Structure 1
Amino acid sequence: MLRTVDLGREILTDFTSAPSGHLSALFVPKIDLAPSGLGTSAARAFSPRPEKPAEPRLFCPGPLRDDRALGEQVNEAVVSWAEQVGIYPGRLDKLRAANFGRFMMLAHPATSDPDRLLAATKCLVAEWAADDYYVDEVSLGADPMVVGSRLANLHAVIDPAALPGRYLADLEGYHRLQPISVAFRSALEHLARYTTVTQMARFQHQMAILFVAWAQEADWHANRRTPPVWEYLVQRHLNDYLPPMILIDVLGGYELPPEEFYHPRVREAFTAAGDAAVLVNDLYSGPNESENDHNLPSVLVANERLTQREAVLRTVEIHNELMETFVTLAASLSATGSPTLRRFLVDTWAWLGGSREWHATSGRYHDTKEEKS
């Protein structure tokens, strides 16, 4: 099905996937999810994409499933939870329209357990709220001059600080008054039902990386500076989609062992996938951002004097290069790694397809009342 995606004043035409579980000719063939066969059969699962068309189009799979009822169930539950913890007061309709429950349903086809999906969705919404409240949305109290302090204090919730008793009450009193802190504490308590110790440690570590990236972004805002392209890509590497993606095996009910998860080649493949996924966000979120916000197309326009359309197409090219890195590494790793590693890489591929489908349809970036073509 041909779909044109409105990216502000310019139009990027791309091909979306065919109905759930199938990919159009311009995307890598669907990966066989059967647990058998490493070696060459596994390597063929991540085969190179077809010859490039004259104009770049997003190289990305479609979703492996779209269980709308399950997504709606999780979404309604997370909206109720957001109201309980005190985030987005007066904006719950917008939160509902964003449909983060559908995001996690699409991204994690390995599970149909609404409670597991809800745990991941709570974490995702807490992360998004922290970005909105502390970094991006002035109307919600964002202030670049205090981003570093706020994030450092918030990380004391994510990776609990062991303060001396006489000061612990002060810390707790501070966090009781911070809806973002309440949201993270609640989300992590739910997540802990399903994680091992090492999986939770992974998540904590990745959140610290994310907070470093947000502090870097605050520097740009405070100094009214547009970063060069290389620096923006460094920030996007730190501020990619790994925090939610890092729960892939948690949602799947298994654990990729640390010696494989942290192996440099696995880390390179996984971060390439996360970096590519966040550039999809740049493409879809750009028209909704203020002039002070940065995305890769706007940074390319500012630094390389491209037109908006040229910058969008360059962003697609960079995304595709990252996806090709992931596919190449995934093929090699699937041929030589453990069955668990292959499953993790296949689940990562599924996550990418679900994420792109959510970005293409979410009320956060589109008027959902309009008929989609």
Structure 2
Amino acid sequence: MPEPGPSPLQSSLPAAAARFGAHVFAGALASGIEAAGALSTVPAEAPVGVPAAVPVPLPPAGPVGVPVSGDGPAAAVRQAGPALERILRGPSGLGTASLHLAARAEVPPAAPAPEEPVPGRPIPGLYHHPIQEPDPARVAEVSRRIKDWAVDEVDLYPDDWEGEFDGFSVGRYMVACHPDAPTVEHLMLATRLMVAENAVDDCYCEDHGGSPIGLGGRLLMAHTALDPLHTTKEYQPEWAQSLHSDAPRRAYRSAMEYFLQMASPSQADRFRHDMARLHMGYLAEAAWAQTDHVPEVWEYLAMRQFNNFRPCPTITDSVGGYELPADLHAPAAMQRVIALAGNATTIVNDLYSYTKEQASPGRHLNLPVVIAEREDMSEQEAYLKAVGVHNDLMHEFEAESAALAAACPVPSVLRFLRGVAVWVDGNHYWHQTNTYRYSLPDFW
């Protein structure tokens, strides 16, 4: 089955445009986008790893691998290439430079594309967009800094966990997901938060002493490291001291302090909200584990909308050094795009971690396991159906992104949509290439 093709900065949005249809963009242009002169055809600066004049490819509409004729909506969108580029690439002209990807003067030049294929292989049939290799200089620097932070600042893990920490390859993960970060310190905002979230998951919920018993109390105390307790002077010192009592709370406290130095109050509150969603998802899964309950497929997907990667792409603007204003982040259309991105990327995790989880003690709920039990399928049939669920979510995400880009062609909205799409692609890249953690089942 052929790949959808390489991913430029705007990643999945061109494919979404093809599927969504030319009439969306014709309508947007009719609304005055062209006349307003607010959108341009060429970005002010190219991001790391992306040529300055990136073409905007338009993959065929319809299922992957199905030929598409030269007629119909997809062909019409191809003919409307300049208009599509204006929608996706953002503004130009006097006073608009700050609306583009931030200046990259301090960033070393991107390394040439590797001649050898990246490690690992993508799941056959999984809809995704390959990306260019992340900048190795940035990967090395982020990896160095995050390990120093984990060891020296927050005492995150004992010595015998070092191999697992290194194998997580979090530096490569975050550089792949945030190619528009203006500085390494901006990348570190996401990297510390990612590591802290995984420490909570491992130590409170799963691999390293986690348990569903008493999880709610532990999560609530950890959440106060993100959303601080406002109490009386008598009791405040005891709470403050508690934030240093275990590795997850130390990591949350420190990562959030760094985040607050560079994020706006609105961005910080948005992140806290999404972390509360994440913790609620942890609790639902824990409750099912305590009662040995296997949810219906739709129930599992509802849980995974909360216990998922959403806090990561929702801060793409903070990491990019700009802000999507609250009144543009909050509308239902944007929330749907973010939710679909989180849901699709989380099912990617279910699929790539399937073999690892099946080999672990006990029963681990993931989408193939739930489908197999609830729909009376073999492991192979359930896994392949889960691939289809992921693909459906991806197509919905891309279509909704294209619709929102056309309906609200505000520069910060377009940039945020690009950032979320790139995060989706970077997340797949990391799962595919992290052969230390993941291997595929023998289903093909």
TM-score range relative to shorter protein: 0.7 to 0.9
Listed as ranges, the matches of 1:217-236 within 5 Å are: 217-236=285-304
Aligned counterpart in structure 1 of residue 156 of structure 2, from 83, 87, 90: 87
Select the residue among 191, 201, 204 that pairs with 1:121. 191
Which runs of 5 or more residues in structure 2 are unaligned? 19-37, 42-55, 67-122, 440-444
Q: 1:271 to 1:183 in 2, by over 3 A?
A: same
Q: Which amino acid aligns with 1:87?
A: L
Work out whether residues 108 and 347 of structure 1, in 8 Å CA contact, stay in contact via their aligned partners in 2.
Answer: yes
3-state secondary structure, aligned to 1:176 = coil
CA distance in 2, matches of 1:283, 1:14: 19
Q: Taking structure 1 as reference, are residues 172 and 193 closer, same or farther at Cα in structure 2, changes over 3 Å only?
A: closer
- SS of the aligned residue for 1:177 comes to coil
**Cα pair distance change 1:156/1:21, threshold 3 Å:** same
Larger proportion of helix:
1
Q: Give the alignment of 1:1-373 within 5 angstroms.
A: 15=3, 21=8, 28=15, 36=40, 49-53=61-65, 57-84=125-152, 85-89=154-158, 90-111=160-181, 113-137=183-207, 140-289=208-357, 290=360, 291-337=362-408, 338-366=410-438
Letter of the 1:303 counterpart: R
Q: Percent identity?
A: 31
Displacement, 1:183? 0.6
Cα distance, 1:147–1:17 mapped onto 2, change above 3 Å: farther
Equivalent position SS for 2:262: coil
Pair 1:70–1:35, CA change in 2 (3 A): farther
Cα distance in structure 1, aligned partners of 2:273 and 2:216: 17
> Distance between the aligned counterparts of 1:120 and 1:23, measured in 2?
20
2:333 and 2:132 map into 1 onto residues whose CA distance is 26
Measured on the aligned residues, the alpha-carbon RMSD in Å equals 2.8
Aligned in 2, Cα 1:173/1:184: closer, same or farther, shift over 3 Å? same
The aligned length equals: 343
Deviation at 1:173, TM superposition (A): 2.9
SS across alignment from 1:352: helix
1:8-38 CA distance string (max 9 Å, x none):
xxxxx884855x74999xx94999xx9626x
- Contact 1:283–1:312 under 8 Å retained in 2: yes
Q: Report the TM-score when normalising by structure 2.
A: 0.72
Give the Cα separation in 1 of the matches to 2:435 and 2:149: 19
Residue identity in the other structure for 1:77: R
**Structure 1 residue 186, shift from structure 2 partner:** 0.7
For residues 359 and 365 of structure 1, do their structure 2 counterparts lie closer, same or farther at Cα, with a shift above 3 Å needed?
same
Distance in 1 between the 2:221 and 2:197 partners?
15
2-side partners of 1:349 and 1:69: how far apart? 23
Q: In 2 relative to 1, CA 180–62 (structure 1 residues): closer, same or farther, beyond 3 Å?
A: same
Q: Secondary structure at the match of 2:235?
A: helix
State whether residues 35 and 343 of structure 1, in contact with CA within 8 Å, keep that contact through their aligned partners in structure 2. Answer: no
Q: Distance in 1 between matches of 2:3 and 2:351?
A: 15
Is the CA contact 1:28–1:50 (under 8 Å) kept in the aligned structure 2? Answer: no
| Residue 7 of structure 1: aligned partner | none
In the superposition, relative to structure 1, how do residues 64 and 270 fare at CA in structure 2: closer, same or farther (>3 Å)?
farther
Between 125-134 and 77-86, the greater mean CA deviation after superposition: 77-86
Contact kept in structure 2, 1:226 and 1:299, CA below 8 Å: yes
Q: 1:320 to 1:205 in 2, by over 3 A?
A: same
Instruction: Give the Cα–Cα distance (whole angstroms) in 1 for the partners of residues 406 and 4 of structure 2.
Output: 29
**SS, match of residue 243 in structure 2:** helix
- Point out where structure 1 has 5 or more consecutive residues left out of the alignment: 1-12, 38-43, 368-373
Distance 2:147 2:330 in 1: 34
**Structure 2 Cα separation of the partners of residues 335 and 187 of structure 1:** 36
- Is the Cα contact below 8 Å between 1:63 and 1:357 reproduced in 2? yes
Deviates more, 1:146-155 or 1:174-183: 174-183
Say if 1:143 and 1:29 are closer, same or farther in 2 by CA, change over 3 A. closer
Larger CA deviation: 285-294 vs 262-271 = 285-294
Q: Which deviates further from its counterpart, 57-66 or 75-84?
A: 57-66
How much has 1:207 moved relative to structure 2? 0.5
CA distance in 2, matches of 1:308, 1:15: 25
| Partner in structure 2 of residue 3 of structure 1 | none
